Amino acid sequence: MAWSIDATDVTGTAMIRLAAIGDLHIRASVSDSLWSDLGSLGGRVDALVVAGDITDGGRLTEAEQAAELFRAVAVPVVAVLGNHDLRCLRRATFRRVLERSGVVLLDGDRFVLTTSTGAKIGFAGVGGAGGGFWPVEGPDALHSRAMKALAVRAKREAARLDAALGGLDADLRIAVTHFAPTCSTLGREPIGKYWMLGNSELGRIIDRHRVDLVFHGHAHLGNPTGSTRGGTPVLNVASTVSGGLLIHDLEPPVHGGDGRPRPDHAPVAVCLA
């Protein structure tokens, strides 16, 4: 697919431009504003990132609505599924409906996109899980059976993200999750709900790899920007937080000798719309 973008910063460096949104919660129909926002991305951005909860009830009819919408997006669409999507009892069919529309679904996978300027954008994604934000010991310090099961799921999802990031070779490396990898983007969410909103194991994995930027959703009452404990920039792109689709200009970072982005060249996300 070919598209052209005139996106350079003041120094003439080619910028990478990404649109991002999470928590569409599509039901019986797609709103006019969503049709218009996503339908007009052709030639304006390199890709669209969708951070899960594409549908509200995980129904196949909702997935079909979403697929029709994504088919109208004239740039690559990279997405993860959210907990609402996973309500579907026919998950393989649900995935197939979305993938047939051209969406790249990341579920412990990676995907490298080469832009028209030759830059390689690498995406690694996983839905993630709750579990809570623990400094060291991990969520399995909790004792109830339900929380232990959640801890197992959290660690499994983190391990899948670890594997996906492991082989990701690109100029700009982006992690996409539905659940939050940090509590710094949880904003007005009540602390008592943190265990449902994400976990720090995701953040630890992200910090262990050379990740330049993270997109997540799920925290509807959160705030738009934060960072992991290791300083990786994190954007909460839930539509309730952003008010809709946002477009970010990202300068490919300059990496230091340790392979991590140099702090003075970390990608800065600029909201354009």
Total Cβ atoms within 10 A of residue 192: 7
Total Cβ atoms within 10 A of residue 41: 21
**According to the binding rule CB under 5 A, does residue 53 interact with Fe ion?**
yes
Q: Which stretch binds Fe ion (CB under 5 A): 17-25, 96-104, 119-127, 166-174?
A: 17-25
**According to the binding rule CB under 5 A, does residue 82 interact with Fe ion?**
yes
Q: Which stretch binds Fe ion (CB under 5 A): 20-28, 31-39, 63-71, 151-159?
A: 20-28
Segments in the chain forming alpha helices (H):
32-39, 60-71, 91-99, 145-166, 194-197, 200-208, 239-242
Pick 204 or 218: Cβ nearer Fe ion: 218
**According to the binding rule CB under 5 A, does residue 23 interact with Fe ion?**
yes
Q: How far is the CB of 193 from Fe ion (least distance, A)?
A: 12
Concatenated DSSP letters of 39-72: HT-TTT-SEEEEES--BSS--HHHHHHHHHHHHT
What does the per-residue mask of binding to Fe ion show for 187-226, with x meaning CB under 5 A?
A: -------------------------------x--------
Gap between the Cα atoms of 85 and 187, Å rounded: 24
The count of chain residues that interact with Fe ion, using the rule CB under 5 A, is 5
Q: How far is the CB of 197 from Fe ion (least distance, A)?
A: 9
**According to the binding rule CB under 5 A, does residue 83 interact with Fe ion?**
yes
Q: How far is the CB of 177 from Fe ion (least distance, A)?
A: 11
Q: Are 109 and 103 in contact (CB under 8 A)?
A: no
End-to-end Cα, the chain, rounded Å: 24
Pick 87 or 120: Cβ nearer Fe ion: 87
Q: Is 152 helix (H, G, I), strand (E, B) or coil?
A: helix
Which residues form the interface with Fe ion (CB under 5 A)? 23, 53, 82-83, 218
